[in-house]
Chain A
C-alpha cells in the first residue's frame, strides 16, 4: 500500500488527533455567528460616531430664520419705503459679521419641502408661507442678539437654532455608540468562552494522547501549540465566513445611511458608487475580523491548554 505524501504529512501534524477531537463544523459556525454580530456592532459604533460628527459640524452653527409676510413693506423704516421685510432681514444678516453665510430658500425649494405634506398639486402659492432663510453663524456667535436685531427690522421674525437638537442627537449618538461598543465587548468575551469550552472538550477527549506525548517529553508549549494551531485555523475560518455574511447586510445598511452621511441632495444621484461610501471605516476593518477571530482563538487556546497541562507533573 503506497503512502500518499500529503496524508503522511497531515498525520504528522496531527499527533494528538485534534482533527477529530476539534471538528471543523461547530466551532467555525459559532465563531462565524459571533463575527457577524461583531461586524454589525462595529458598523453601528462607527456609523453612530460618523453621524454625530456630521451633525455636529453641519448643524451646530445653523439657524433657520422664518420671516412671516416677507413681501410686505417694512413699516417702521420710513426712509426706505420700498424695502420688503425679507430684504430688510437679509440686509441685517449680510451686515452682521457673525453671519458666515445665509441663503434664502426659493419658492421652489419650499414647495419641494412641503410636497410630502401638501402634495404636488397643492396650490402652494396660495398659502401665505413665510420666507425661510438658512443661516450659518461663525463660532461663538451671539444668537440671541442676532434674533433680536432681526425682530427689530421685521417684527414676528423667528430664529430657531439647531443647537438644542444637535445636543440631543449627539447624546443619542453617543449612547448608540456606547451600546455598540458594549455589544462588541460582549461578543469578544463570548467568543473567548466558546473557544475555551471547545478547547476543554478537545483536551478531555484527547487526554490519553496528551498524557502519552507529555510522557515522551513534549513541552507544554508544543502541546499548546498543536491546539492553538488547530483552533486558530477554525476560528479564522469562522471569522472569514462571518465577515463574508456581514457584507451584504452592511452594504444595505450603508445604502440606507448614505443620505445622512453626505450633504448630497437627491439630485446628486445614487450613493452607490460614491467614493465616500467605500471609504467608510467599516470596509477597512471588516477584512481584519478573521484575523481578530484567529487571534482570540489562538490566545484563548494557549491559555486554556497551558492551564490544563499544569495538572500534569
Chain B
C-alpha cells in the first residue's frame, strides 16, 4: 500500500535547491493499516504527507503509494491515484469562492460522480460534521474549526483507499476531536489506510496506535 525506501526530499531545484528536508526515510504501511506520524514542529511531517499525497515527487529513493511506484509512474497515471487519496491539509486549503457544500462536493465532481449521488453523499457528510445549516457559507464565513470540519468532510466523502490527515484536530475542541478519531477508526476498520500527522503527543496518548516519529527530517522510531 505505502512503501518508502531511502526517500530524500528537498524543496526547489537546480541552484535554488534547499537543504534536504527528509533524509533516508524508509517504512511501509500495509493496506488497511494505521500510523501516527509524530514529531516536533518543522520536522518534516507535512512534507512527508505531501509526498504520500503525490503533491511532490521524491528527489531520490523509492516511493510506492497504492501499489504504484511513483518514481517511475507516468504523469498521466497520477490523477486516478490522487482520486483514491483523501487529504486533510494542515491549512485546510478550501476554495474560497465555493460554498462549504461545493467544497465537499469537489472530489466527487472531479471523479465524475452523478449529481444525485453527490447531493446525497455531501448532505450526509455535512450532517456528520454538523454543518448542514452552514452548507451555503463560504470558508471565510466559517470559524477555524468549522473550516477544518469542511476539510475533513472533503477528504472523507469520496471513501478514499488512503486517508492522510495533517493535524486534523488542530482547531477542534475535545469533543469534536474525539468524534473525528472515532470516524478515522471506523474508516480504518472498513479497510481505509490512515496516516495522521500531529505534534500533539497528548492526542496520541489518548488514542494509542502504531506511530512513526520524525525528527529533523530523519525517521527515528518506526513502530
Contact = CB atoms under 8 A, between A and B. Distances in A.
A306 B76 CA distance: 12
B140 interface: no
A138 interface: no
Contact of B109 (A3, A12, A211, A313): A12
Nearest to B97: A17
B78 interface: yes
B78 A15 contact: no
B91 to A, nearest CB: 10
A273 to B, nearest CB: 53
Contacts of A222: 110
Contacts of A20: 97
Interface string B154-166: 0000000000000
B55 A313 contact: yes
A313 B54 contact: yes
> How big is the A interface, by class?
20 to 34
Interface string A178-220: 0000000000000000000000000000001101111111111
A115 interface: no
Contacts of B81: 217
A212 to B, nearest CB: 5
Given A17-B95, A313-B57, A217 B82 contact: yes
Contacts of A1: 136
B98 interface: yes
A218 B95 contact: no
Given A3-B136, A313-B78, A15 B57 contact: no
Contacts of A212: 93, 95
B191 interface: no
Interface in B93-115: 93, 95-99, 102, 105-107, 109-111
Interface string A1-21: 101000000011011010010
Interface residues of B, number: 30
Interface in B47-85: 53-57, 75-76, 78-85
Interface string B188-218: 0000000000000000000000000000000
B37 interface: no
Contacts of B55: 211, 215, 313
A217 B54 CA distance: 10
- Pick from A208, A211, A213, A217 the residue with the most CB of B within 10 Å: A217
A219 B79 contact: yes
Contacts of B98: 11, 15, 17
B110 A215 contact: no
B87 interface: yes
A3 to B, nearest CB: 6
Interface of A: 1, 3, 11-12, 14-15, 17, 20, 208-209, 211-220, 222, 310, 313
21 contacts: A3-B136, A11-B98, A12-B102, A14-B97, A15-B102, A15-B106, A17-B96, A20-B97, A208-B93, A209-B95, A212-B93, A213-B106, A214-B82, A215-B53, A216-B82, A217-B85, A217-B107, A217-B111, A219-B76, A219-B79, A313-B57
Given A12-B109, A217-B82, A313-B78, 11 more contacts: A14-B97, A15-B95, A20-B97, A208-B93, A215-B55, A217-B79, A217-B84, A217-B85, A217-B107, A219-B76, A313-B75
